[in-house]
């Protein structure tokens, strides 16, 4: 895929579009013609690409290393992806756009939501060269917001660099701020040991214990951004960039924090059914010390690690809460999977897990919280409640086939079959 007028190229994930004639599509199921006549156009959505430093991505061998695609490099612009020894062409990689979707402007009401139509996508995971990363470091993987009007993709630093499954807009009920639910691996780069060694070399956690590798040590997250502000919290006025006016620069990531006595997230859902008792966890979305400052840095400086520290609740590090991660702060657990906003506009979203459980995070009250802040300000935390929808259960025990659904080998189709039964 050629970008920036042929200055460089991307392999890996693409976003393609097809334009349809709406009138013809509306009658397609009731006539006998092919679909050919309703297709008005098709192509690549990304024609221009800007990196985390705000520079147009240039040639891979360019002398100016600030024009690199940082999903393939360290902070100095040196190439560290796993094909470093064999791929010397003018080619970068978009690493697994696990989700890509439209966020329409003002989708929650007049002035409420994005200023522009945005096609939002994310880089999820990659495989870097472990030996090079150990010596030189790695930046990580960001989200990308595409300006549909100009077909321009902008790397977004404000969410962090941990790599993402899906990021979706949720209504926060104001015309000044935007809210997003955030999910993903938090460091699936294929170089856990080298990256952990580099992090541990920077020091210890606040309680003087060693850092664990960040992957899947992460709560459900919400990003709140302020529209019309630069990353340093100053208003951009009439000189706003596209990212600034849409709230993608000055913002914070908040993780769901639960009382310290709460069982870790995976274990809490194991065998748990929605039965009217112990269905909820009352907590808060809490900030970390990290915030995007516009400077591209090594992954050791990223917010991905911050969920191993005490959450910032009501403006101070909390002794009563912990970030509600899958298996505690010392090891990874099941991944946070796809999330989806309340389509009716509630201040809440549904979030799933690779363990099969799903639930709803509700932060009703955020509109009043944001409305009480000074212009351009962000809260240190805000109340929230988690409610289970479906726990982690043995699904085959809940499937009643009643004699139907036999496979070719004569067994019941209560599991996916890829050569052996899976429990």
**H helix count then E strand count, the chain:** 6, 22
Q: Check whether 127 has a pLDDT greater than 70.
A: yes
Q: How confident is the model at residue 35 (pLDDT cuts 50, 70, 90)?
A: confident
Mean pLDDT for the chain overall? 93
Q: Report d(CA 149, CA 169) in Å as an integer.
A: 19
Q: What is the phi-psi region of residue 45: left when phi exceeds 0, alpha when psi lies from -120 to 50, beta otherwise?
A: alpha
Q: Check whether 286 has a pLDDT greater than 90.
A: yes
pTM score above 0.85:
yes
- The SS3 call for residue 206 is coil
pLDDT of residue 87: 60
% of the chain exceeding 70 in pLDDT: 93
Using alpha carbons, select from 91, 103, 4, 89 the residue that is nearest to residue 44: 4
pLDDT digit string, tens, across residues 225-242: 999 999 999 999 999 999
Average pLDDT over residues 275-279: 72
- The SS3 call for residue 372 is coil
Q: Report d(CA 262, CA 31) in Å as an integer.
A: 58
As given in the structure block, the two tokens for residue 228 are 């019309």
Q: Check whether 422 has a pLDDT greater than 80.
A: no
CB 118 within 8 A of CB 147: yes
pLDDT of residue 414: 64
As given in the structure block, the two tokens for residue 211 are 């850092």
> Which residue carries 């043995």 as its tokens?
394
Q: Check whether 413 has a pLDDT greater than 70.
A: no
pLDDT of residue 396: 66
> Which residue carries 């990212």 as its tokens?
243
CB 206 within 8 A of CB 311: no
Q: Check whether 315 has a pLDDT greater than 90.
A: no
DSSP 269: H
CA atoms in the 13 A half-sphere facing the CB of 127: 3
More confident residue, 306 or 397: 306
More confident residue, 310 or 273: 310
CB 311 within 8 A of CB 207: no
pLDDT of residue 415: 58
Q: What does the buried/exposed string (b/e) look like for 191-220 if buried means 16 or more CB atoms within 10 Å of the residue's CB?
A: bbebbbebbeeeeeeeeeeebbbbbbbbbb
Q: What does the buried/exposed string (b/e) look like for 368-407 if buried means 16 or more CB atoms within 10 Å of the residue's CB?
A: ebbeeeeebebbebbbbbbebeebbeeeeeeeeeeeeeee
- The SS3 call for residue 268 is helix
- The SS3 call for residue 413 is coil
Using alpha carbons, select from 341, 298, 279, 307 the residue that is nearest to residue 134: 298
Q: How confident is the model at residue 421 (pLDDT cuts 50, 70, 90)?
A: low
């Amino acid at each position: 895929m050629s970008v920036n007028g042929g200055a460089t190229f991307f392999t890996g994930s693409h976003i393609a579009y097809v334009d349809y004639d709406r009138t013809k599509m509306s009658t397609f199921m009731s006539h006998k013609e092919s679909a050919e006549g309703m297709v008005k156009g098709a192509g690549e959505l990304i024609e221009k690409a800007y990196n985390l430093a705000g520079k147009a991505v240039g040639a891979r061998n360019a002398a100016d290393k600030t024009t690199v695609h940082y999903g393939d490099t360290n902070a100095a612009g040196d190439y560290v992806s796993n094909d470093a020894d064999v791929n010397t062409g003018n080619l970068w990689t978009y690493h697994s756009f696990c989700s890509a979707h439209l966020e329409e402007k003002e989708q929650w009401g007049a002035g409420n939501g994005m200023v522009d139509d945005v096609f939002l996508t994310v880089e999820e995971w990659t495989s870097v060269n472990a030996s090079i990363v150990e010596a030189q470091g790695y930046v990580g993987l960001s989200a990308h917001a595409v300006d549909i009007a100009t077909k321009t993709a902008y790397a977004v630093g404000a969410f962090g660099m941990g790599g993402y499954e899906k990021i979706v807009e949720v209504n926060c009920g104001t015309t000044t701020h935007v809210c997003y639910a955030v999910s993903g691996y938090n460091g699936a780069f294929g170089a856990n040991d080298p990256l952990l060694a580099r992090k541990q070399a920077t020091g210890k956690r606040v309680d003087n214990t060693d850092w664990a590798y960040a992957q899947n040590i992460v709560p459900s997250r919400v990003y709140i951004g302020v529209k019309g502000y630069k990353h340093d919290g100053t208003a951009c006025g009439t000189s706003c960039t596209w990212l600034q006016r849409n709230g993608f620069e000055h913002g914070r990531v908040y993780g769901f924090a639960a009382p310290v006595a709460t069982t870790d997230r995976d274990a809490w859902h194991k065998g748990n059914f929605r039965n009217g008792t112990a269905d909820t966890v009352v907590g808060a979305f809490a900030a970390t010390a990290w915030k995007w400052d516009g400077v591209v840095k090594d992954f050791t400086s990223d917010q991905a690690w911050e969920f191993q520290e005490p959450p910032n609740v009501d403006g101070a590090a909390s002794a009563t809460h912990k970030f509600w991660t899958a298996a505690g702060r010392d090891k990874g657990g099941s991944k946070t999977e796809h999330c989806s906003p309340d389509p009716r506009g509630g201040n809440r979203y549904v979030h799933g897990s690779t363990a099969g459980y799903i639930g709803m995070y509700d932060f009703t009250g955020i509109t009043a919280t944001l409305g009480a802040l000074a212009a351009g300000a962000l809260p240190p935390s805000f109340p929230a409640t988690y409610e289970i929808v479906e726990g982690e259960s043995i699904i085959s025990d809940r499937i009643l086939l009643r004699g139907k659904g036999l496979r070719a080998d004569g067994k019941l189709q209560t599991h996916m079959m890829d050569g052996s039964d899976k429990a």
